Amino acid sequence: MSDVHTPKRGRPGYDQRAILAIAVTAFNEFGYDATSMGVLATRLSLSKAAIYHHFSSKDEVLQLALDEALNGLEGVLRESGAVTGSAIDRLAYVLRGAVLVLADRLPYVTLLLRVRGNTEVERDALTRRRAFDRAVSTLVVEARDEGSLRSDIDPRVVTRLLFGMVNSIAEWYRAEGPEDAAHLADDVLAVALDGLRRR
């Protein structure tokens, strides 16, 4: 499978991470099912054997790609800002963190948002994604119970609208650096918590 026309010497040395990044872009562009290991090999100018050196299967590529997104989101829940302080502050911290992870790991989160549960790897990812959603939902309920959030909207609807707003960012955001992402997170919190109306 090796291509004698491609000089080995001048070719960038792909490690697992670099292959993953290119694989995720291909999954998002063509769909996971339509992206074979052969397609990936062509994109990377690598042999399939070289890819199998780093990944045991296409499923493992998917799993590691989804891990990038999920580990990022789950990591936010473990940070001190997510576990100390008032519920509304913890909610704000987690929403901000979710926007920052989305902006920082955009293709991985985009892939995660498209997962429909067709394979075991996808179902595991969905389970973890739902656990993250539930953690946010719990914060919404706690913030309402402590009296800092309005109580006239069903917390389930609130959580869904919040994720609707946050997740939609994946459809139009193009990375322009961490400052830009932080600004975007400010905007999301401003709209979600305080609303658009001028006071």
Q: What residue ranges bind a second copy (CB under 8 A)?
A: 88, 143, 147-154, 157-158, 160-161, 163-169, 171-172, 184, 187-188, 190-198
What secondary structure letter does DSSP report for 189?
A: H
Q: What is the DSSP string of 108-142?
A: HHHHHHH----SHHHHHHHHHHHHHHHHHHHHHHH
Residue type for position 180:
D
Minimum distance between the CB of residue 120 and a second copy, rounded to whole angstroms? 22
Minimum distance between the CB of residue 42 and a second copy, rounded to whole angstroms? 23
- Identity of the residue, 120 or 154, whose beta carbon is nearer to a second copy in the bound complex: 154
- Identity of the residue, 49 or 191, whose beta carbon is nearer to a second copy in the bound complex: 191
- Identity of the residue, 18 or 34, whose beta carbon is nearer to a second copy in the bound complex: 34
- Identity of the residue, 56 or 168, whose beta carbon is nearer to a second copy in the bound complex: 168
Q: Report the alpha-carbon distance of residue 83 to residue 91 in Å, rounded.
A: 10
175 burial level (CB within 10 Å; 0-12, 13-18, 19+) = exposed
